[in-house]
Amino acid sequence: RRADEAAGDELTRLAERHLVQPWPVSGSIGAEARGRIEAGEGIYVTDAAGRRLIDGPAGMWCVNAGHRNRQLADVMAAQAMELSYNSPWYTTNAPSAVLSARLAEHAPDGIDHVFYTTGGSSAVETALRFMQFANNVKGRPEKKLIVSRQGGYHGSTYLSASLNGRPRDHDWMDSAADLVVKLSCPDPFRRPEGMSVEAFCDFLVEEFRAVIEERGAEHIGAFIAEPVMASGGVIVPPAGYLKRMHALCRANDILFIADEVVTAFGRLGHVFASQDVFGIDPDMITFAKGVTSGYFPLGGVMIAGRLFEELRRSNHSEAMFAHGLTYSSHPVGCAVALKNLDILEDGLLDHARAITDHFQASLKALEDLPLVGEVRGLGLMACVECVADRVSKNPLTLDLEVGKRIDRHCQELGLLVRPLINMCVMSPPLTITSAQIDDMAAILRKGI
C-alpha cells in the first residue's frame, strides 16, 4: 500500500507540474491536479483513494454504454490492428462509410450526409463554417449572423465558444461577438414572474421574430440550439418552442442547427432527439460524446443533402470548402461508433426509455429538500438546482460553490456529481438499473 501511495503522490506531482486541465483559473493554472480516477466498470469509477463511485455524469455526458465495455474495447483493438489510420483527404475507409449510412438511417429524412470531426467543438465549428461557405457560394456573403441563446454551450474553439451564453464563458475571453446574436434562455423556471409557460414560449418566439425583423433575414445565416440545454443546467424548453423556432427558420431561409452533442445516442432514448423527441428536422445536427460512449474522441455534423444540391446548382462549382481535420473519419473512432450503435440498437435504447420515468421521479423527489428550488430533466439527464429561497429563486451561494460542496459530500458517500455553480447535473451511463438509480438518489439526498 505504501508503494501505491508513493506512486499516487508522484502522479499528483507530475500533474501539478506539467498538466493543464480544462477551465483552470489564473491562481492555480499549471499548478493543480484534480482528483484522479483510476478505473471504471459499468456505472462506477474508482478514485485514487480506492473509493467506488457511481459516475453520475457519465464522465462528461458521454459514457453512455458504461465503463469497461468489452465489446467496445475489442473492436477498438481489432480495428487498430486492421487499419489504424488513413488520410481522409485522399482515401476513405470501411467503418466511416458504413457508419455514415447507419447514422443517416437514424437522422430525420433528408439528413443523409455526415462530416466527421474530433469532438463537439469541431463539429459546431464545421457546421458554422459550412453555413458561411454555402452563403458565399450562393452569392449572399452578408447572410452570416448566427443566433444562439443565453445559457447555451457549444464548445471551446473560437467560433463555437463565441456562441456560448453562460456569463462565465466570456468574462475573461475574447470572442467573435460581432457574428453572434443571443436570444433569451428558454428556461421556464426563470420565466418572468406571473407569466404562464405558454406566454413565456410566445415571448421567446416573438423575440426571435423581432431579431429577424431588426437585423433582416438576409443577414442571418443560422440558428443553433441544444434541444435540451445541457451545461446551462438541463434546461428543457417549453412545449412547442423548438417547433416554432424551427418554423421561423424555415420561413426565413435560416439554417437550423441542432446541437445534439449531449442529447443524441440514447441520452433522450433515441439515436437523435430532434425528430424522435421534438418533431423537428434540422438542416444540420452536430454530435460527439455518446457516439463512441467516450471510448474514442469522435464527433460530426449530419448535413441535409439538399444543402449540397443547392451548391451543385450554384455558379461556383470550383468553390472549395477548405475545411478538414487530420482525424476526420478516423477508422478506429468510426469502428467504435458502429459497435456502440449496435449496443444502442440491441437493447440499450429500449432500456434507457424504460428506466427514464424512474430516474426522473427519483430525482424529482428531492424537491422536498429545503435547499432545492427545482429538479428538472428529460430522458436520462436531470439537474438539481439549489436556491437561497423559493420565492426569489436566487442561486444559493456558500463559501464554496454549492454544487462543489454537494459533490464533495456525495463523493464521500459513493457518488460523483457534475457540479455547476449552484446546480448538480446527473446524466449517468444508460446502463444504470432501477436499484442503482435508488442508490444514486439516496446518496444525493444525503449529500445535499
Per CB under 6 A, residues contacting ligand PLP are 60, 119-121, 124, 153-155, 226, 230-231, 259, 261-262, 288, 299
Nearer to ligand PLP by Cβ, of 211 and 262: the residue is: 262
Nearer to ligand PLP by Cβ, of 108 and 155: the residue is: 155
* Joined grid coordinates for residue 121: 467543438
CB of 44 to ligand PLP, least distance (A): 22
CA 334, CA 339: separation in Å to the nearest integer? 9
* Joined grid coordinates for residue 431: 446502463
CB of 157 to ligand PLP, least distance (A): 7
Q: 134 near 126, Cβ under 8 Å? A: no
Nearer to ligand PLP by Cβ, of 229 and 349: the residue is: 229
Nearer to ligand PLP by Cβ, of 295 and 396: the residue is: 295
185: left (phi over 0), alpha (psi -120 to 50) or beta: beta
Q: Give residue 417's identity as a one-letter amino acid code.
A: V
27: left (phi over 0), alpha (psi -120 to 50) or beta: alpha
CB of 164 to ligand PLP, least distance (A): 9
Nearer to ligand PLP by Cβ, of 267 and 445: the residue is: 267
Which CA distances in Å does 21 have to 15, 24, 419?
9, 6, 16
CB-based burial label for 343 (10 Å; 0-12, 13-18, 19+)? buried
CA 401, CA 381: separation in Å to the nearest integer? 21
346 DSSP 8-state letter: I
CB of 45 to ligand PLP, least distance (A): 18
Nearer to ligand PLP by Cβ, of 258 and 372: the residue is: 258
Query: What is the full DSSP assignment across 144-173?
Result: -EEEEETT----SSHHHHHT--SGGGTTT-
Nearer to ligand PLP by Cβ, of 356 and 427: the residue is: 427
Nearer to ligand PLP by Cβ, of 297 and 324: the residue is: 297
CB of 299 to ligand PLP, least distance (A): 6
Nearer to ligand PLP by Cβ, of 124 and 380: the residue is: 124
Nearest CA to 256 among 220, 206, 298? 220
Nearer to ligand PLP by Cβ, of 69 and 231: the residue is: 231
CB of 320 to ligand PLP, least distance (A): 25
CB of 226 to ligand PLP, least distance (A): 5
Q: Give residue 369's identity as a one-letter amino acid code.
A: L
Q: Give residue 361's identity as a one-letter amino acid code.
A: A
Nearest CA to 377 among 336, 437, 439? 437
271 DSSP 8-state letter: S
CB of 122 to ligand PLP, least distance (A): 6
266 DSSP 8-state letter: T
CB of 289 to ligand PLP, least distance (A): 6
Is the Cα torsion angle 330, 261, 102, 69 positive or negative in sign? positive
CB of 229 to ligand PLP, least distance (A): 8
CB of 399 to ligand PLP, least distance (A): 28
* Joined grid coordinates for residue 434: 432501477
Nearest CA to 188 among 241, 231, 151, 235? 235
* Joined grid coordinates for residue 332: 478506429
**Residue whose Cβ sits closest to ligand PLP:** 120
Query: To which H or E segment does residue 357 belong?
Result: helix 349-364
Nearer to ligand PLP by Cβ, of 419 and 447: the residue is: 419
CA 303, CA 173: separation in Å to the nearest integer? 30
